[in-house]
Amino acid sequence: MRFYFINWIVSNCCQSLKTSRYCYAPTHISMNHQEANTDARARGSLFQTRVQTAVRTPTEQKFIAGGVCRTNVQLTGKVAVVTGSNTGIGKETARELARKGARIYMACRDTQKGESAASEIRADTKNSQVLVRKLDLSDTKSIRAFAEGFLAEEKQLHILINNAGVFMCPYSKTADGFETHLGVNHLGHFLLTHLLLERLKESAPARVVNVSSVVHHVGKISFHDLQSEKNYSPFFAYSRSKLANVLFTHELAKRLQGTGVTTYAVHPGIVHTEVTRYSFLMHLLWKLFYPFFKSAWEGAQTNLYCALAEGLEPLSGKYFRDCKRAWMSPKGRNNKTAERLWDVSCELLGIQWK
């Protein structure tokens, strides 16, 4: 299994870039983007992008970095929630949304780290409306408390980015007894979206972005062992949860037709922050392939594209990578599986969501 995963990393490091009217190669804009961030903290936050760009050839830069969201959409008066935004992709997503003037809710498990990240973003973007709230997606009580507090505080919600997640962790269970990958990556965001959906509808047009992964292609939804109790593999538990994200997006889009709320599944690319937390092998791979992984800023671009790009409404429920629509596994658009997963998720969470 580990050799399979290594092969997946290497093969994904060599994906080519195809641009669209909203995205183009970072080599064309990286210096302009960096020069715009004159604040010392902002320069520090882009250090990794600069180093990786410096050690890549122009061709490698084009292939590896993928697309960059380019839109003039401004978000003054808009409200966004980004989960897992104290670090990595989520932090850079929150930063760019704040730069466009949105009121940002950074929903973080570690609020101390969240406040540190928010302080940096406020200083960088000169946007004081960057707020941190406690959200532990491994605990449904925390999810409900976050939603209750948010709904009491805000009358609008235009962008929900379900970004937080766990990656190839040892076998464990959430506070509610769910296998951790399924509980955090899928069920936690499923419940959060359910609790915030009416506010999204009231604020339409609005968007929900679910961060999935290319590994959804190898994921398998086994309803007889959905929580990996019989046979646990960190990689396949992770890939199952990412397939669940895609199926959720597919089914949610069907149920949201005519509401003005659209939803998209995203593969952000292979970003180093996702592959070093639990495994020495993953840490070693990061050291070996450092120049070939995306930076957090590069990884955030497809999140931003799906949240902001104009004209995506007809593509609700689809899967994106590198700021363009990508091929979704047939397993990810299987109506029967998506409907059953929806029903099972509601049953596990004790909710009714028709």
For residue 38, the model assigns a pLDDT of: 33
Q: Does residue 114 lie in a domain region? A: yes
**Is residue 305 flagged as an active site residue?**
no
pLDDT surpasses 50 at 260: yes
Residue 201, pLDDT above cutoff 60: yes
Whole-angstrom Cα distance, residue 100 to residue 80? 11
Q: Does residue 232 form part of some domain? A: yes
Domain assignment of residue 221, yes or no? yes
Contact 290, 319 (CB under 8 A): no
Where in the sequence is the domain holding 205, given as residue range(s)?
Answer: 2-349
99-153, pLDDT tens digit by residue?
999 999 999 999 999 999 999 999 999 999 999 999 999 999 999 999 999 999 9
The string of pLDDT tens digits covering residues 2-44 is 444 544 444 454 443 333 333 333 322 223 333 334 343 444 4
Query: Would you say 326 and 20 are in contact if contact means Cβ atoms under 8 Å apart?
Result: no
What's the CATH code of the domain at 86? 3.40.50.720
Q: How does residue 294 score in pLDDT terms, banded at 50, 70 and 90?
A: confident
- Tell me the pairing of strands 79-83 and 261-267: unpaired
Q: What is the pLDDT at residue 21? A: 32
Average pLDDT, the chain: 85
pLDDT number for residue 42: 41
Instruction: Give the whole-angstrom CA distance, residue 13 versus residue 291.
Output: 9
The per-residue pLDDT for 254 is 98
Domain-located, residue 196: yes
Whether the upstream peptide bond of residue 205 has omega within 30° of 0, thus cis, is yes
Whether 19 is covered by a domain: the verdict is yes
Q: How many domains does the chain fold into?
A: 1
- Residue 72 C-alpha from the chain's centroid: 22
pLDDT of residue 45: 45
Q: Are 310 and 317 in contact (CB under 8 A)?
A: no
Is 92 a domain residue? yes
User: What pLDDT shows up at residue 284?
Assistant: 73
pTM of the model: 0.83
Is residue 9 in some structural domain?
yes
Which residue in the list 238, 264, 305, 319 is annotated as catalytic? 238
With respect to residue 354, please indicate whether it lies within any of the assigned structural domains. no
